[in-house]
Amino acid sequence: MLARGVSRTCVRGSSGLVQQGMLARPAAASRASSVRAYALSVGDKLPEAKFRYFDSEGNMKELGTEQLCKGKKVVLFAVPGAFTPTCSMKHLPGFIEKAEEIKSRGVDAIGCVSVNDAFVMDAWGKSVGAGDKVLMLADGNGQFAKALGVELDLADKGLGLRSRRYALLAEDQVVKVLNLEEGGAFTVSSADAILEALA
């Protein structure tokens, strides 16, 4: 049964399951023990959290979820870590490359979220040419990841608490599309997948 207010939007998980209105829970065998069952579903309102980023003049700014998303159509995608191979070679570059096309379909802003500090996110964005195409949003303390229920414990790799990889589309703060990966996998959260959802 769908929760009240959940839309019939298609949601994709990396297990290959596709449902309307909510994301299918992965089978217990494929669920990593270090990953908590997530809480976010299509139809949910994004929780309020504060991100930090550097503006074009080099000033650190704070940006809340409501300020970013209220009355707007926004794409947010999260990565386990700045400068890591898949994130730097595929995930972020894909959104930079497709940013114009995504925005031409009514999207007001695209944000890359990671549990890193704003200095790291700024340096990473500059290294791959994010410019004004993608906002580099630092979820420094993992506040947003925890609020979504998508935290990823990578302490055994010396990386501490991070976020699972995902891409979502929100309209006026409400989640319309949610493509959530298992751990750090990269199968359903690409820019092309978001473009497909916007078609």
Q: How far apart are CA 101 and CA 185, in angstroms?
A: 24
Helices 118-128 and 92-103 pack at an angle, to 10 degrees, of 80
Give the burial class of 152: count Cβ atoms within 10 A of its Cβ; 0-12 exposed, 13-18 middle, 19 or more buried. Answer: buried
Domain assignments of the chain as residue spans, ordered by start: 44-198
Query: Per-residue pLDDT tens for 101-159?
Result: 999 999 999 999 999 999 999 999 999 999 999 999 999 999 999 999 998 888 888 78
Q: Which of 10, 69, 87, 112 is catalytic?
A: 87
Q: How far apart are CA 162 and CA 115, in angstroms?
A: 5
136 forms beta bridges with 112
pLDDT at 14 (0 to 100): 44
Residue 176 pLDDT class (50, 70, 90 cuts): very high
Residue 2 pLDDT class (50, 70, 90 cuts): very low
pLDDT tops 70 at residue 12: no
Q: What's phi and psi for 167, nearest 5 deg?
A: -140, 135
CB 73 within 8 A of CB 106: yes
Task: Reduce the DSSP state of residue 52 to 3 states and report it.
Answer: strand
Q: What's phi and psi for 30, nearest 5 deg?
A: -100, 0
Query: Per-residue pLDDT tens for 34-82?
Result: 334 456 899 999 999 999 999 999 999 999 999 999 999 999 999 999 9
pLDDT at 161 (0 to 100): 85
Q: Chain centroid to CA 55: how far?
A: 20
CB 121 within 8 A of CB 82: yes
Does this model's pTM top 0.95? My answer is no
Tell me, yes or no, if 69 is annotated catalytic: no
pLDDT at 152 (0 to 100): 83
- Superfamily, domain 44-198: Glutaredoxin (3.40.30.10)
